[in-house]
């Protein structure tokens, strides 16, 4: 059974940093691209970042480019999102999402339950 479990969310002040982690199980992580998608409570889904199976292709939404960094450790079955210079507008539930293939355009299939990030002073 495919499982994606996010951790690392919480309350942080504007301008500070947070690191999200996603523990993957039930499949071979290195066979798939992975993504982060967020949702402001009560609003729609927004793609944040994606990474190909071998780290060669990284992508970011314009809203986080230069502030967020995605990475993965296939040996540890883990995906990460380093979030720097946090803003109030980054407040959202962050979902770890598996792509259906090794490259970034492969459509998403499995999602984690999400971790809430709250940015507030």
Which parts of this chain interact with other proteins (CB under 8 A)?
Answer: 35, 37, 43-47, 49-50, 59-62, 95, 100, 104-105, 107-114
Is the Cβ of residue 12 or residue 49 nearer to other proteins in the bound state? 49
Is the Cβ of residue 42 or residue 121 nearer to other proteins in the bound state? 42
Provide the minimum distance between the beta carbon of 121 and other proteins in the complex, in angstroms, as a whole number: 27
Query: Which burial class, exposed, middle or buried, applies to 106 when counting CB atoms under 10 A from its CB (0-12, 13-18, 19+)?
Result: middle
Q: How far apart are CA 62 and CA 56, in angstroms?
A: 19
Is the Cβ of residue 27 or residue 47 nearer to other proteins in the bound state? 47
Provide the minimum distance between the beta carbon of 85 and other proteins in the complex, in angstroms, as a whole number: 20
48: nearest Cα among 26, 11, 13, 22? 22
Provide the minimum distance between the beta carbon of 44 and other proteins in the complex, in angstroms, as a whole number: 4
46: nearest Cα among 113, 95, 115? 95
């Amino acid at each position: 059974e495919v499982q994606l479990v996010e951790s690392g969310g919480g309350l942080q002040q504007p301008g500070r940093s947070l690191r999200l982690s996603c523990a993957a199980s039930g499949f071979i992580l290195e066979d798939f691209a992975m993504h982060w998608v967020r949702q402001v409570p009560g609003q729609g889904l927004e793609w944040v970042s994606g990474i190909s199976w071998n780290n060669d292709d990284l992508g970011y939404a314009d809203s986080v480019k230069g502030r967020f960094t995605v990475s993965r450790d296939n040996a540890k079955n883990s995906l990460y999102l380093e979030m720097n210079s946090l803003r109030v507008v980054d407040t959202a539930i962050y979902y770890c999402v598996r792509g259906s293939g090794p490259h970034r355009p492969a459509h998403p299939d499995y999602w984690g339950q999400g971790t809430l990030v709250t940015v507030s002073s």
